[in-house]
A and B are shown apart, each in its own frame.
Chain A
């Protein structure tokens, strides 16, 4: 836990050469993949949902 807090605290802290003092930890990277992945899956399937809803409405109108 301490390591994770340390990573959060150190985000943005840079050395003289511009590199991060503490690079993102693997778990922090995994959290990024998790957040991005879940958002991406919900967004993409949400678009498919809209697509089906529109198609169903068009189909009902034509009937």
Chain B
């Protein structure tokens, strides 16, 4: 008789709370349209895995379908890398080639990653956990998942939720930070843009050389940067249009679907409902704020050395985060609100695609440096 009611008797308050959290994520996806392709599957996955007996994860000694997906796609890092192929096929580096200076904002706006690593260690996390939390500031879901899975798989759930939630909240996070750090005069700076086509050989050679250089500087970053650049090479080759379209659409949608529900399945109540989750969510926000501040302040620094008439609109610096193309669009909207007819979109997009590169390189740096620091600390 007890077996009949086992579903009712094994429910705990933590499970109920997780249904609420899953429900909120689904609500945000549907009602607010915050990253719906990810937050909806994550929310539903969180509900599934917290149902009594959790049969989707494991039952009677056999792996459930979500555990199989997790082992196959997350534990092996396969899903994030496949997503990167799709993202690479979506990126056009053309705006960056026309104004290469924008590439440095892709570096400056990674400041939040490193500032958050320091803060996380001060709060009490160990270095690997801190590095995984800091990488939320990459504003790049697959990189966050890749690093967290290697360094702190037990924190994968909250880190993924924080990364994707804050990416979707970029329109709310960035504008107040930018306004606090810039004057109205600075936000009205105009930037000229010359329409011209970049040579095809540069577009083809760029992903190959970027992969090789990154592979030499930080060999451990090759899976990340290699898959991103492979996708871009497919796009720019000009002879693989159907493959490029497949990567941008079918591959992206399919893997995103599986990635989302599998990440949701990592949110078991006993792992997710800890004080660490609250801290991770808080520090994720800090990372995004520092990213934005780092980019804007770096642009202001560069402006000190640029002649009048060549100054950069410092809002462009904020686009150096990887949230593409959302950040670029927000900055253009802010520029238009400040002064009608001020078009800085292409510069913003140039900075934004640099952020894609910068976040992956930063992820590679963290992957390389953390083990190195451990070795150094022993001597």
**Interface bits A1-40 vs B (CB < 8 Å: 1, else 0):** 0000000000000000000100110110111111011101
Contact of A40 among B97, B118, B206, B218 (CB under 8 A): B218
Enumerate chain A residues within 8 angstroms of B113, measured Cβ to Cβ. Answer: 37
From B105, which residue of chain A is reached at the shortest CB distance? A45
Known: A26-B126, A45-B104. A59 touches B199 (CB 8 A): yes
Contact of B100 among A30, A31, A34, A53 (CB under 8 A): A53
Enumerate chain A residues within 8 angstroms of B101, measured Cβ to Cβ. Answer: 49
B377:A24 contact, CB within 8 angstroms: yes
Known: A34-B115, A49-B101, A52-B202. A41 touches B377 (CB 8 A): no
Q: How many residues of A contact B (CB 8 A)?
A: 30
Majority DSSP secondary structure for residues of A touching B: helix
The A/B interface has a contact count, at CB < 8 Å, of 117
B122:A27 contact, CB within 8 angstroms: yes
C-alpha spacing A21/B181, complex, angstroms: 44
B213:A31 contact, CB within 8 angstroms: no
B358:A32 contact, CB within 8 angstroms: no
A30:B110 contact, CB within 8 angstroms: no
B127:A34 contact, CB within 8 angstroms: no
C-alpha spacing A17/B120, complex, angstroms: 32
Residues in chain B within 8 A of chain A (CB atoms): 96-97, 100-101, 103-104, 106-107, 110-111, 113-115, 117-118, 120-122, 125-127, 130-131, 198-199, 202, 205-206, 209-210, 213-214, 217-218, 354, 357-358, 361-362, 365-366, 368-370, 372-374, 376-379
Residues in chain A within 8 A of chain B (CB atoms): 20, 23-24, 26-27, 29-34, 36-38, 40-49, 51-53, 55-56, 59
Can you add 8 more A-B contacts, CB < 8 Å, to A36-B369, A41-B365, A45-B104? A26-B126, A27-B122, A32-B369, A33-B373, A41-B358, A44-B213, A44-B218, A56-B202
